[in-house]
Amino acid sequence: MSNLNPGMDAETFDQFIDQLRRYVRDRLIPAERDIIESDCIPPEIIDELREMGLFGITIPEEYGGAGMNISQYTRTIRELAYAMPCFRSIISITIGMFTSAMKNGATEAQRQEWLPKLAAGTITSFGLTEPGSGSDSAGMQTMAVRSSDGGWVLNGTKRYITNAPQAEVALIMARTSKEPLPKNAHVSAFIVPMNTPGVSVGKSDKKMGQAAGHIADIILEDVHLPAEALLGAEEGKGFITAMKSLDNGRLSVAAASIGYAQRALDSALRYATERKAFGEPIANFQLIQQMLADSDIEIYAATTMLEDAARRADAGENVLRKAAAAKVFASEACGRIVDRVVQVYGGAGYLAEYEAERFFRDARVYRIYEGTTQILQLQIAKHMLREFNAGVN
């Protein structure tokens, strides 16, 4: 398998990962309790993430980024996701989805304008989901119509949008045709600065978990945009661009699931070693050991799937099925692992005083992010059947 995307120099990358691992354990994890209580990442930590270059890890060097390939990107997310999920959330849309859309679908002028800003730490949002539609583009209601000056006017509402309260710019999917068109050509993508008149953000939604990782509605009311706001300067490419970006988003969620599952398992190992029952550590009990071993097995399997999908993406393969499969397995495995961790903790696992309860709540959304397990199962099966009927081995 030829490697078309070598990414960052291997030695430099290893040094970066070592630095990131120390930063996560020495700086981010000790800050978690205060962040949970305030439901806010301190501005100084966001500035530190910028200074480390985390917002630009996948952006080519000529635009001010680190030029990591997909394998390095997912490894970085795994390390960062060992800490509470809000740290990944604040950067993941920029490095995974917005940047991917810019690289895959933008004009060179758009790349020159936006990629250096993204690399410097611009917080972004990705506006696809709506109150009445998510993966179903035919149900999308947000409309973009031509204005008299050759620009665009957008109206609609986007729902459950990560980073919406903090975002400085959003990539918004909107219909440019009232009638559904083949290959979702009725949907286009627009670069929308959040300070544009007519753009407003709803109240942050209260969630089951993921403290300090904010989601909210983005409301668009007669939002006037210049012609250059149309991604790629071409109508009808928005949904295709979004779906290509979602491959990276799904790999990011798989990586986040693995990183957080490892954090939860390490917590369970520590607790099982310290907690005693019947005069000995509960880690000596075989059924506790079975839960620990099953969790380690699933993390290994998920990691192997993710690394394979990322390696194939770097080689230029279409990884839609592989990315979906890795995301489904890793997120479902994470759910099983955090459930076992609560069980290892026993009664303490149900108390907010202990971290197992938080792991359980935080992890649940990974099976929903970037396409639910069920949607991705349908997508995988559809492509399997298409290939079978076409005679592809």
Mean pLDDT on 302-323: 96
Cα distances (Å, whole numbers) of residue 391 to 27, 122, 210, 320, 377? 53, 46, 44, 19, 21
Give pLDDT tens digits for 220-246. Answer: 999 999 999 999 999 998 878 877 888
Q: State the fold for domain 240-389.
A: Butyryl-CoA Dehydrogenase, subunit A; domain 3 (1.20.140)
Q: Is the pTM of this model over 0.85?
A: yes
Region(s) of the chain under CATH 2.40.110.10: 125-236
Q: Where is pLDDT greater, at 137 or 117?
A: 117
User: 170 pairs with which residues across the strands?
Assistant: 125, 192
CA distance linking residue 361 with residue 28, whole number of Å: 19
Element (H, E) at 143: strand 143-146
Q: What is the DSSP string of 51-100?
A: HTTGGGTTS-GGGTS----HHHHHHHHHHHTTS-THHHHHHHIIIIIIHH
> Are 90 and 214 within 8 A, CB to CB?
no
Mean pLDDT on 276-285: 97
Which residues are part of the catalytic machinery?
A: 370
The yes/no answer on whether domain 125-236 falls in CATH 3.30.70.1280 is no
What is the pLDDT, as a whole number, of residue 4?
A: 66
Give pLDDT tens digits for 7-51. Answer: 999 999 999 999 999 999 999 999 999 999 999 999 999 999 999
Q: Where is pLDDT greater, at 136 or 84?
A: 84
Region(s) of the chain under CATH 1.10.540.10: 10-123
What is the pLDDT, as a whole number, of residue 248?
A: 86
Give pLDDT tens digits for 174-214. Answer: 999 988 888 788 999 999 999 999 999 999 999 999 999 99
The yes/no answer on whether domain 10-123 falls in CATH 1.10.540.10 is yes
CA distance linking residue 51 with residue 74, whole number of Å: 20
Q: What is the DSSP string of 284-301?
A: GSHHHHHHHHHHHHHHHH
Q: Which of 284, 159, 293, 152 is nearest to 229 (CA)?
A: 152
What is the pLDDT, as a whole number, of residue 2?
A: 43
